[in-house]
């Protein structure tokens, strides 16, 4: 992908233009219970996943109604496509919630997909160099396509309350079984070390 500027009107037009590809993939989406990689790539080229990035990044800075219009356009042809687009286009929102230098490192490309939960289901224990994270976050829609995963945690320090991942199948979420809404856990049973700079409260 690239960071070539795409404005909101262009992305909306591109979303409409994806209709034939979505319709053609419908059987494969239902059969494989995931979006095909080539459809994800087409959505990236269309600018679907960059809709929340601000103008300062070269993004389209689309307002919430425009963003919802994108989901409506895609979801008309396949509900799972609209749902994955909604979840995985949150990259711009997350980039706005950490230091800009860290955000630029996490998102060198505005077309990267982000999945996960902000609900503080996991535990983050402060250690030298960052946090040791453990937990299991359910319904990580789009996680098999995502370049970045988010996992909300309760902060623990000194033993008191204050992501490489594996996946396991969850129940179909609200009938959109092809969203790949799996549960995510850190890469080792004892948790994963997360740099402090990549966290947000």
110 in helix, strand or coil? coil
What was the pLDDT predicted at 163? 39
**Continuous H helices in the chain:** 8-17, 19-32, 37-46, 64-77, 79-88, 91-95, 100-106
Query: Residue 50 is encoded by which pair of tokens?
Result: 């960059």
pTM for the complete prediction? 0.77
Mean pLDDT of the chain, nearest integer: 84
Taking a C-beta distance cutoff of 8 angstroms, is the pair 83, 75 a contact? yes
Instruction: Confirm if 87 and 79 have CB atoms less than 8 A apart.
Output: no
Intra-chain end-to-end CA distance of the chain, in Å: 30
Express each pLDDT in 4-38 by its tens digit: 889 999 999 999 999 999 999 999 999 999 999 99
Domains and CATH numbers, the chain: 8-95 (1.10.540.10), 113-198 (2.40.110.10)
Q: What is the pLDDT of residue 43?
A: 98
Q: Give 77's Cβ-side CA count (13 Å radius).
A: 22
Q: How confident is the model at residue 181 (pLDDT cuts 50, 70, 90)?
A: low
Distance CA 85, CA 37 (A): 13
Confidence of residue 151 (pLDDT cuts 50, 70, 90): confident
Q: Tell me what pLDDT residue 86 has.
A: 95
Quick one: pLDDT at residue 41? 97
* Model confidence band, residue 198 (pLDDT cutoffs 50, 70, 90): low
* Residue 187 confidence (pLDDT): 53
Instruction: Say yes or no to pLDDT of 188 above 70.
Output: no
Indicate whether 177 pLDDT > 60: no
At residue 118 the predicted structure's pLDDT band, cuts being 50, 70 and 90, is confident
Question: How many alpha carbons lie under 13 Å from residue 95 in its C-beta half-sphere?
Answer: 29
């Amino acid at each position: 992908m690239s960071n070539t500027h795409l404005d909101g009107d262009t992305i909306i037009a591109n979303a409409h233009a994806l209709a034939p590809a979505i319709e053609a993939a419908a059987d494969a989406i239902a059969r494989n219970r995931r979006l095909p990689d080539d459809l994800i790539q087409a959505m990236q080229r269309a600018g679907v996943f960059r809709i929340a990035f601000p103008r300062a990044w070269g993004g389209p800075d689309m307002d919430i109604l425009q963003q919802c219009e994108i989901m409506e356009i895609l979801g008309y042809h396949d509900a799972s496509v609209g749902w994955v687009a909604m979840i995985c286009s949150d990259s711009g929102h997350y980039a706005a919630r950490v230091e800009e230098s860290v955000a630029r490192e996490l998102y060198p490309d505005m077309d990267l997909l982000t999945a996960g939960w902000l609900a503080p289901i996991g535990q983050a224990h402060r250690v030298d160099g960052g946090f040791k994270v453990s937990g299991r976050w359910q319904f990580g829609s789009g996680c098999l396509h995502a370049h970045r995963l988010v996992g909300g945690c309760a902060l623990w320090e000194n033993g008191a309350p204050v992501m490489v991942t594996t996946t396991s199948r969850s129940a179909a979420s609200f009938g959109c079984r092809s969203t790949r809404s799996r549960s995510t856990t850190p890469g080792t049973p004892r948790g994963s070390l997360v740099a402090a700079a990549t966290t947000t409260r």
